[in-house]
Amino acid sequence: MPAEHEIRADYDRDTIAIYQAYSPAIADAALEAKAFVPPFSFHRMTWIKPSFLWLMHRSNWGQKSGQERVLCVRVKRSGWEKALSLAVPTSFVPGVYPNPDAWAEQFATAAVHLQWDPERSLRGTGLPYYSIQVGLSRHVIREFVDEWVARIEDYTPRVRKIRDLLRSGQAEKARRFLPPERVYPVSAEPGRRFLISPHPGAR
C-alpha cells in the first residue's frame, strides 16, 4: 500500500504531469495557443493535481458543468518544485509550525497553498492514503503559464474511453488506459514540511 503522504505522478526527467478539468472554451483556447490564454483566469487561484483518479472523482469523469474537458499539463519539474518550496499547507501541522498562529500568519501571505485529500479508486471510492493538491495564487499563475508549462494535451478522449469501459463493466480493461503514476522524489525540506518521507531519488 502507498505511504499515507507521498506524491504519485506521471513524470520524466524534466516534467511532471498534472491534470485539470475546464470548460470547452478554456480548453479549446489553451490547446490552440499551446498555452493558457483567456478565458483562462489569471486573477484567481488555480489548483494543479498529479492524481488522475482524484480529478476523475472531482469532475465526475468530465461530466460536471464547466469541467467537461480534461487536460494533461506537462509542467517543468523545476516549476513544480518551486511551487512546493513556496507552499504552505491549508491546515495547521503540529511539529512543523510552532503554533496555529505562526501557521496562520504564513498561510495568509502564501503564494502557494497545499492540501492532502483522500486518493480515489477507479470507482471513486476514498482510499486510506492521500493525494496532493497544489493551489497557485494569482501571484504565481503568470509564472506558471509563461515559464513552467511545457505542453498541454487533451485527455478528454482518453477519459471518455475509460468512462465508457467502466459503464460497460470492463474495469480491468479500463485500468489499462490509466496514466502511469509512481512515487515522485521529494527532498528533505519540503518532505518535512508536508509530512512526506524523503525519497532516495530526490534531487
The predicted-structure confidence for 127-173, as pLDDT tens digits, reads as follows 999 999 999 999 999 999 999 999 999 999 999 999 999 999 999 99
* Per-residue model confidence (pLDDT) at position 96: 87
Which region, left, alpha or beta, applies to residue 150 given φ > 0 means left and ψ of -120 to 50 means alpha?
Answer: alpha
Q: What type of residue is 163? A: R
* Per-residue model confidence (pLDDT) at position 198: 60
Could you tell me the pLDDT band of residue 191, with boundaries at 50, 70 and 90? confident
Q: What type of residue is 65? A: S
Q: Do 23 and 68 touch, CB atoms closer than 8 A?
A: yes
Calpha distance 31→22 (Å, rounded): 12
Partners of 15 in the beta sheet? 76
The single-letter DSSP state of residue 146 is I
Q: What type of residue is 192? A: R
The single-letter DSSP state of residue 51 is -
Residue with cell 497553498: 113
The predicted-structure confidence for 28-59, as pLDDT tens digits, reads as follows 999 999 999 999 999 999 999 999 999 999 99
CA distances to 15, 63, 102, 148 from 143, rounded to whole Å, are 16, 30, 27, 7
The predicted-structure confidence for 93-118, as pLDDT tens digits, reads as follows 888 899 999 999 999 999 999 999 99
85-91 mean pLDDT? 95
Closest CA to 49 of 108, 138, 115: 115
Closest CA to 75 of 178, 158, 144: 144
Q: Do 19 and 49 touch, CB atoms closer than 8 A?
A: yes
Phi, psi (deg, nearest 5) at residue 168: -90, 10
Over 80: is that where the pLDDT of 201 sits? no
- CB-side exposure of 188: number of CA atoms within 13 Å? 0
